[in-house]
Amino acid sequence: MDQDHDWQRPFVASAMYFEDSDSLEYVSEDGPCIFRRVDEMLTLMISVGDRRPIGIQLKGFKNFYLRNLRSKYSLDKKNFLALTCALEEAMNSIGAETFKENQLESYALALNIAERDSVEVRDFPQLACGR
């Protein structure tokens, strides 16, 4: 039997960048979910079955990365960025003191998911890597 099938490899927590929608997404488990928009940047993915937060979507990621993260992190195909760093920078750029209560709670849930799963961002917009 061929040992190179993707379904046979162990799961690695990794966020994916989708260029067409300019969004960075991470979901911790396969299954139906509801997207609950928090603000212009953050959307939480909520499990349909038990209403647990199971994923994160950051919209406008390329612009956010270029403006807020690129100067702080030297990234290429060999390096990665912890999703917690991106979320914390998003909170700082928005200004945590201006958050509504539900926003602060939602960002805390997103940070919890990213920390719990040690999510790494390895997939970057080509422009973000200087190409």
Query: Stretch 20-33: mean pLDDT, rounded?
Result: 90
C-alpha to C-alpha distance for 90 and 102, rounded to whole angstroms: 16
Residue range 67-98, pLDDT digits in tens: 888 777 765 555 667 888 888 888 887 776 67
Least Cα distance to 70 among 108, 119, 61 occurs for 61
CA distance 64 to 41: 9
pLDDT at 74: 61
